[in-house]
Chains A and B, each alone.
Chain A
């Protein structure tokens, strides 16, 4: 195992830009110091090492953000990103922002994207810089979207289904806000989006939404985290190369899934032996981005298959020679082309 890492270090050098390599490798190395064998997690060191940025009522590249506490009992925070509201006269940015939250439904339709950050259910928060940047990008990408980044409870301190519950709370809150509705029909045009564990959460929240009659315009899943007991070909072949090791994946599932559950639990393997049938449900359309050098790609492709078999639409964007985390830095074709796919998916739905 130690030896094989050497060989493929050369591979990642040629397919990944140098600064991306430094970024993702830094995550890999620092994350490995946080996971303990007994299943516990060095949360203090994790918070110390994370690079964070506060919300900002002053526009940065035309986008403002603010943090809202949705649920005091679970300390559920969300960070809301919106296009900088027009400031009238001597108004301060905070005043303009407050006014924006009290607006009635806008006649001009705009999308609302509820975003779940990645981190294998254990890492990162809404104020982690890489995710703050990504959410800001989504606002301008989709022509003035409102993005709501959800600070869901993380494992191992909070296991499944806490993260799903938090996502559901955020969705219900969004549906109750008049200022998030738009268009002639004053509708909430909401998309669920997420990368890695966030993609997994987006799926499960979409299922609850479908079961409860909340209409979701679409799901956007970037390298979503799924798995199963079986070891797939891609898992065996890519283990330890391109920044991700199978043993680490196992640790995160063990930390997230209920005690005693295995990876065929429906949270992890929604179309597996314990999966829930989605055939009868009004499940939204999905945009699924898969990186060819992600060792979980076989599970992601199986997920797409499962959606299709249930009669639901899914557009799979398969990126050759992309690794995990390609969407953090705007320095590859993968980044720009995937952003374009997201933009057109949101605009056409």
Chain B
């Protein structure tokens, strides 16, 4: 065979310029510029030797590297460089790197355990649902109606206990509503709040969102004496006791915390949070701001600002929606960090059938996780209603009425980039803590994934909800444009 048995097959790398990435490594998940390969290889060797030498002298890798926080493992060059500065532990600068966008694939998982006679009916029902959606897209409402009738006949044959069966009923009902032109059921703020808190209890999704955002905010507030958190939708303020607690325990003492809560009826929540903050010794003031009035929020000079958006931004994405002006407003508040948590799903596709199908498989996974989660019966049922409303909105509504316009994290990355934000990568410590919490409080099947600095909660490998952190790019002009400051949220 000879001393050097390999001959590179002709690939792009042979004629690539120095700034191009190695395509083979990119294919397996690592971004390394071809011109950096030697450097990275040398650094890996150096770290390896350091680890081996330390182990030989009695310091195993687990102690040598224990304080290291890892960021964006795909970027091997910066990962290895940052490790080498942390090992042995001396200065540990955190490295934020920009990353390229990946197109979101369309994926779903099915519970094969249910595959059998019962699931033949279930799969048939799924086919019919998609065919019905297709007929609606083509405006053939007569066919749609007859398919709905046929599907209702199938329902008794399917185990509607959980999985695709249960969620199919909700989609079937939604399709029925759509072609019957029934108006949307009226919602009250009280109902919203009750359903939200049951959803919060029934599964780890919102807890994951809150926890991950808090972790990022806490780190961003390091060394700041006066901090201001602006929550785009306060609800019950469930996210904040944990942050207040963490700030109270901060080495060196807590900062003075200002919380601005946007939404209906936030004053009572603010009072409760103020009491809690007082009880743990965190200087605290609360500002209530009416829903949709982000424009009336004021920041004080010298305070570090965190803006928190949990499942809010997608509501602004309709054709006439104010997403751009809201993002501009956010940037003008000069936040140190913007935390964004969104459903990781593509429910804003223009074509109805595409949207319908994506939603069918996403909510099927979500309902499966709810059912297997084994939360107490009461919470699960209300959580299902909470989700059913989202389904109805996605399937039945159009135009400005359709607010559940979920988009995958990849598209948010582009949009936020265009609006003048750059990503702050969530690191391995946030990952580890989220992962540990999941293990303690939730059923097997949940996982945490890291993709390009964002963390997402997944159920059997399918990403459900994604958390990310951002800051305004230094070069983006913060122009105070005199424009309409009126937003509908």
User: Interface residues, chain A, CB within 8 Å of chain B?
Assistant: 1-2, 5-6, 9, 14-15, 17-19, 21-23, 25-26, 28-30, 32-33, 35-37, 42-45, 47-49, 51-58, 66-72, 75, 77-78, 90, 92-95, 98-99, 101-102, 126-127, 129-130, 133, 173, 240, 320-322, 328-334, 336
Q: How far is the CA of A69 from the CA of B113 in the complex (A)?
A: 7
Most buried by B among A43, A58, A94, A98: A94
Query: Per-residue CB proximity of B41-59 to A under 8 Å, as 1/0?
Result: 1001101110111001000
Q: Which residue of B lies closest to A329 (CB)?
A: B24
A44–B108 touching, CB < 8 Å: no
How far apart sit A260 and B450, CA to CA, in the bound complex (Å)?
A: 36
- A30–B357 CA distance with the chains assembled, in angstroms: 39
| B445, closest chain A residue (CB) | A75
CB distance from B136 to the nearest CB of A (A): 13
For this complex, 17 residue pairs linking A to B, each with C-beta atoms less than 8 Å apart, are: A5-B49, A18-B37, A22-B25, A22-B40, A33-B65, A37-B60, A49-B70, A54-B105, A56-B107, A72-B113, A92-B354, A94-B106, A98-B126, A130-B28, A320-B5, A328-B28, A329-B24
Contact A66 B108 (CB under 8 A): yes
Q: Is B462 interfacial (CB-CB < 8 Å)?
A: yes
Q: Which residues of A contact B193 (CB under 8 A)?
A: none
Q: Give Cα distance in the complex from A30 to B68, angstroms.
A: 12
* A-contacting residues, B121-143, CB 8 Å: 123, 126-127, 130, 134
- In Å, the complex CA distance between A204 and B80 comes to 38
Pick the contact of A44: B1, B56, B435, B463 (CB < 8 A): B435
Contacts of B52 in A (CB 8 A): 1-2, 5, 240
CB neighbours of B73 from chain A (8 A)? 30, 48-49, 51
Given known contacts A33-B65, A95-B127, A95-B130, A72 and B29 CB-to-CB distance under 8 angstroms:
no
B105 contacts A29, C-beta separation under 8 Å: no
Q: CB within 8 A of A23: which of B7, B28, B107, B445? A: B28
A313 CA / B407 CA spacing, docked (Å): 54
Interface residues of B in 437-471 (CB under 8 A from A): 444-445, 447-450, 460-463
Q: Tell whether B372 is near chain A: CB-to-CB under 8 Å.
A: yes
Cross-chain contact A54 with B113 (CB below 8 angstroms): no
Give the residues in chain B near A9, CB-CB below 8 Å. 45
Interface size class of B (residues with CB under 8 A): 35 or more
CA–CA, A93 and B358, complex, Å = 11
Of all chain B residues, the one with the shortest Cβ separation from A43 is B435
> Does A45 lie within 8 Å of B111, measured CB to CB?
no
**Distance (whole angstroms) from the CB of A114 to the closest CB of chain B:** 14
B106 x A17 contact (CB < 8 A): no
A2 touches B53 (CB 8 A): yes
Judge whether B74 is part of the interface by a CB distance below 8 angstroms. Answer: yes
With contacts A22-B41, A44-B436 taken as known, whether A331 is within 8 angstroms of B109 at the C-beta atoms is no
Contacts of B123 in A (CB 8 A): 98, 101-102
Tell whether, in the assembled complex, residue B51 and residue A32 are in contact, meaning their CB atoms are under 8 Å apart.
yes
B463 and A54: CB pair below 8 A?
yes
Task: With A51-B74, A72-B372 as known contacts, state yes or no: A14 contacts B4, CB within 8 Å.
Answer: yes
Residues of B close to A95: CB separation below 8 A: 127, 130, 357
How far, in whole Å, are A18 and B460 apart by their CA atoms in the complex? 35
B6 near A58: Cβ-Cβ < 8 Å: no
Please measure, in the bound complex, the distance between the C-alpha atom of A334 and the C-alpha atom of B5, giving whole angstroms: 8
Instruction: Name the B residues within 8 Å of A331 (CB-CB).
Output: 6, 8-9, 11, 24
Given A58-B105, A173-B112, A331-B11, 6 other A-B contacts at CB below 8 A? A17-B8, A18-B37, A28-B48, A48-B432, A67-B462, A129-B27
Contact B44 A26 (CB under 8 A): yes
Alpha-carbon separation in the docked complex, A127 to B74 (Å): 15
